[in-house]
Amino acid sequence: MNRVKIFHFLLSSLSIIGWSLAIYALMIFDKARPDAAIGYFQSHGAEVRFEWDPEQTVLLEHIIWICAALSFINLGFNFYIAQRSKIGWWVNIPLLFTCSLAAGLYIRFVV
């Protein structure tokens, strides 16, 4: 395999792993926190979920931060590759980094 194919394979695999972690985090997000705006929900007659699993919240936070770290590493690797080969910038890598960083900060300071 030549160098460009190895770089392409590494970027692809890191992106797939990062997005898989993000999708898994979305799947456990439902049980990780109680519903917000309880007064608003109750005033309109909607059912409100009061039970939540604090262990799931910690797991969700760890998964989000791992996803952010992985995408940051992938972003640095993409910068290195874009400078030295014909492979250009991949849009999904900064998008994943921005989303996971925002979600990690939200879970850390708001939830």
Q: What does the mean pLDDT of the chain come to? A: 81
pLDDT at 6: 84
Which SS3 state, helix, strand or coil, does residue 102 take? helix
The two structure tokens encoding residue 7: 């770089």
Q: What is the dihedral of CA 17, 18, 24, 27, to 10 degrees?
A: -150
pTM of the model: 0.75
| Residue whose C-alpha is closest to residue 2's, from 85, 93, 99, 92 | 85
**Mean pLDDT of the region 28-42:** 65
Question: Does pLDDT of 35 surpass 60?
Answer: no
Between residues 3 and 45, the one the model is more confident about: 3
Enter the DSSP assignment of 29: G
Output the pLDDT for position 89.
Answer: 79
87 pLDDT tier (thresholds 50, 70, 90):
confident
Share of the chain above pLDDT 90, in %: 14
For CA atoms 17, 20, 26, 29, give the dihedral sign: negative
User: Tokens 């874009």 map to which residue?
Assistant: 82
Q: Which pair of structure tokens corresponds to residue 47?
A: 């059912």
Residue 111: pLDDT band (50, 70, 90) is: low
Please report which confidence band the pLDDT of residue 84 belongs to, taking 50, 70 and 90 as the band edges. Answer: confident
